[in-house]
Structures are given as C-alpha cells and as structure tokens.
Structure 1
Amino acid sequence: MKIRSRWLTKFAALTAVATFRLLFWTCRKKFLGDVLEQRMDPTVNDEHFVLSVWHDALLLPTFAAPKWLRKRCCCLVSQHQDGSYLADAMAWMDYTTVRGSSRRGGVEALRQLLTDTAGKHIIVTPDGPRGPRRVMKPGVAFIASQTGRRLLPGAFVVKNGWRVKGSWTDLVIPMPFTTIYLITGRPVSIPQDTPRSQLTQYVAAAQQAMDEINEEAERLAGRNSPQSAFPSVKAA
C-alpha cells in the first residue's frame, strides 16, 4: 500500500530515522580506505567526489556517517514514490537531496547538481532506481564528467545483518551491536565534459572498481560472497 499523504510520508520517514539511528548507535563503525582515513577530519578542505553506493547497501553509509559529513553530502534521489520516503528521511538526517534519475527528471536534476552542490560530495546509487542489481549505469559517470569530480567507488558491508527482499534487489540492515565496514577504493578519473557516447570505457572501469572494492569488503567481513550468510526477510 502506497502512502499518498505528505504528512504520513513525513511521519513514516521520521519514524524510520529514529529507529535506524537507535539501531546504528549500537553498532561499531570502521572507516577504511585512503579517502575516508585521510579525510575524517572535518577541518580538512578536501576534494569533493561523486560517491558510488550500490542500492542494497544504501542504509549503511546513510546512517553510519558522522553528522559533519552528512551535512557535506548531496544525494541524488529517485522521483519514484519510494524516493519520497528516502528524501524525507535524508532531510531529517541533514543531507541535501536532488530529485531525479535516468527515467524521470534527469535533466533538471543534473542542472541542480551542477549549481547547488558546491562544497559537497554527491552520492549516487548507480544501479537504481530499477536495476539490474549491482550493474553500473552510465548516469554516474556522466555526472562525474559534467561536474568535474572523480568517481569514488564505495563498499559498505556488515558483519551480521538481515536482507530485506525487494522486487529487483535487497536491502541490507545491520543486526544490533554488529560491525559496519565503510570502505572507499581508488577514485576513477573521467575527463570533464565527456559526451555520453564516449563514456563506455569509464563505466566499465567504474564497474570493475566497484566489484573489486566490494569483494575486498566481503572478505574483510568474513564472507566469500555478498551477504551470503544473512537471513532473508520479505518486504511487506
């Protein structure tokens, strides 16, 4: 059942934020990778990136990031109904959001990303909003090229968690008191203003970077395949 009322949507988002904040407060967070390790100091005037996060892992960096970092991030959120819940939740968490995707509102979203994200990292789920799961789409490479930022591959895994099954992907939720690993790989450089027709090689490089850093993260969490030991829960 879809919630049509904006007041109910906001209430649902606030309830979810409060619940997940409490859950994530119990968890241990480990930040790894050159970018995160060197830039956890909020006083550093560092480079800003387009951070790539697989859709199934989105909750982990969203709630594990410290407040000062959340304020310095802008998230590209789908205009789909599910995106309304996410956009409201992001606002409660001090993130900036831009609504749009490759399917809806893409041109306006890109224009807003170009003008409204100075001093902020841009967070994108490159396999959303409809999948296929963990398959890189050209949009994230195009955003990196148009904004003149390097694309930063991210891997976010938990030691123990649940998988909530969805229509085309799942959603990883940490169990209380588990360890969350937040890892960034080596940034992928994409020449500025590269036409969409010439992005194929950079999309392939970004896909490989994401696959490699996520495989490394899974090994670090003690698994040989993504969330293989997690119990599954079917979404309502």
Structure 2
Amino acid sequence: MGKSPLSRAVGVLKEDPRVARMVPWLAAGLMRCLFRLLRVVHVDRAYPERCWARGERIIIAFWHGRLLMMPFAYPGTPSALLISQHRDGEYLSRIATRFGFEVVRGSATRGGMRAVKQMIRAIRERLNLAIAPDGPKGPRAKVKSGVIEMARLTGAPIVPVSFSASRRRLLKSWDAFLVPVPFSRAVYIWGEPMYVPRTATKDEVAQYQEALEARLNLLTMKADNYFR
C-alpha cells in the first residue's frame, strides 16, 4: 500500500533544508516556554551533586518517554546526549545542540561501535552522558545492555532520574511520551548512583540491567504519584 498524500507531504517537508533549520529552533523555544510555565521541585538532587563533588562524571539514565523536559533536569551541566542515527534523530540532534549538549549519534543497531568510542571519549573529556536506555524504538521501559557496558568500560556511575507533572498527557506512541500541561506542578526525582565493576561478567551485566530497570520504574512511579 502506498503512502497517503499527507505522509508524502510530511516527507517532502522533512527533506527541505529550511524546515530542518526552522523546526529545531521552534521546538527548543516551545520547550523553554513550557518549562517556564511549570512549578518545578527537585527530589534527591544531592545524588549527582555528590558524584560531581568527588570529581566523577556520571551517566544520566531516564526513560525515553520522559525525554521532553530532561534538558532542564540540571541545566548548565556539560553533557553528551546519545541520539539514534534514524532520520528523525537529525531533528533531535539539532534541538539538543540548542540546549548546549554535545551529540553522539548511534544506537545498539546502527553506528554502535562508533557511538561507544565517542561516549568513552566524552567521559574522558569530563562530560557527563545522557542516555535513554530503552531508546530509540523500545521496547518501552526495558533497559538495554549498552548503558551497563558503558558504565563498566568507563567506571562512571549510572544515576537514574525521572520526571512527571501533576497534570500531564501521554501520547499514543511506543514510549507513552509525556507532555506536561502548562501551569502544572512538576518534579524531577533522582536515584542512587549505580557502579558497575569493570570485571562484571555477562550474567552480572544482565543483573545490573534488571536492577537499573527496577530503579527507573520505581522513580517513575514515585514521580507520577508525587502530587497525589
């Protein structure tokens, strides 16, 4: 079955370089406006702060569905963001650079080894890493091994974080993408750092995956229920 006229029109627009320049600028502006309209509180932000006080760089992990407000979780912190090499990832990359992120392009299926090398270099250059371990296409809320291996190779602790709002909309996407309603109360909740020893075996890596998944799910549940 061929594409609909609307789908073809959207595809043409995505290829237009003027649209490629305008959309990230507009999206970043709308995100900033939305964030300013929220009443935000932070819970347990001391966890990443203690790591930084010890001179550590961290791997910030969050579910893909909570991505929208993550640029504001700890603004001003030098970080590199992992974004897939999918075509739509180009728009996300341009948006991320407007928030001061360095961008690493790749995933478990495309550009994987190149992305790993870039992320290791980012840690060595004193950048934090920001990763959605269930991205870019799911399954939702399932940690892939890549983030654990990155922690094992670099020695950087994984610090999980989740975001939610008192009033929110969940899109009908694979990741149940959360959009906070303007003028809502919102919360970032951080979790304890997770250190993965360099000597971790394959079975132990799988155990760390399960542990991180459980922590992220717990933080997300706490965030969703925080204002009740």
- TM-score, normalised via structure 1 length: 0.83
Aligned counterpart in structure 2 of residue 25 of structure 1, from 23, 36, 41: 36
Counterpart AA for 2:56: E
Aligned counterpart in structure 1 of residue 211 of structure 2, from 192, 198, 205: 205
C-alpha distance in structure 2 between counterparts of 1:212 and 1:221, whole Å: 15
Secondary structure of the residue aligned to 2:197 is coil
Q: Which ranges in structure 2 are unaligned for 5 or more consecutive residues? A: 1-9
How many percent identity over aligned positions? Answer: 27
Aligned counterpart in structure 2 of residue 139 of structure 1, from 123, 146, 150: 146
Secondary structure of the residue aligned to 2:186 is strand
Determine which structure has more spread, i.e. the larger CA radius of gyration.
Answer: 2
Q: Which ranges in structure 1 are unaligned for 5 or more consecutive residues? A: 223-236
Q: Which runs of 4 or more aligned residues in structure 1 lie more than 4 Å from their structure 2 counterparts after TM superposition? A: 36-39, 195-198
C-alpha distance in structure 2 between counterparts of 1:198 and 1:38, whole Å: 27
Please list, as runs of the form range in 1=range in 2, the aligned pairs for 1:16-165 lying within 5 A after superposition: 16-35=27-46, 38=49, 46-62=55-71, 64-65=72-73, 67-69=75-77, 72-117=78-123, 118-165=125-172
Q: Is the 1:142–1:196 contact (alpha carbons within 8 Å) kept by the matching residues of 2?
A: no
**How large is the RMSD of aligned CA atoms in angstroms?**
2.2
Q: Is the 2:58–2:128 contact (alpha carbons within 8 Å) kept by the matching residues of 1?
A: yes
Please list, as runs of the form range in 1=range in 2, the aligned pairs for 1:157-236 lying within 5 A after superposition: 157-166=164-173, 168-192=174-198, 194=200, 196=202, 198-222=204-228
Task: Flag the 1:197–1:11 CA change in 2: closer, same or farther, 3 A.
Answer: farther
1:184-228 Cα distance to aligned partner (Å, 9 max, x none): 111111012645564111111111111222222222132xxxxxx
C-alpha distance in structure 1 between counterparts of 2:132 and 2:49, whole Å: 24
Counterpart AA for 1:49: I
Task: Flag the 1:194–1:6 CA change in 2: closer, same or farther, 3 A.
Answer: farther
Q: Which has the higher helix share?
A: 2
- TM-score, normalised via structure 2 length: 0.86
C-alpha distance in structure 2 between counterparts of 1:15 and 1:139, whole Å: 32
Q: Is the 1:142–1:199 contact (alpha carbons within 8 Å) kept by the matching residues of 2?
A: yes
How much does 1:4 deviate? 1.9
State the partner residue of 2:4.
Answer: none
Q: Is the 2:61–2:158 contact (alpha carbons within 8 Å) kept by the matching residues of 1?
A: yes
C-alpha distance in structure 1 between counterparts of 2:159 and 2:188, whole Å: 13
Q: Is the 2:165–2:223 contact (alpha carbons within 8 Å) kept by the matching residues of 1?
A: no
C-alpha distance in structure 2 between counterparts of 1:66 and 1:130, whole Å: 25
Counterpart AA for 2:154: T
Task: Flag the 1:6–1:193 CA change in 2: closer, same or farther, 3 A.
Answer: farther
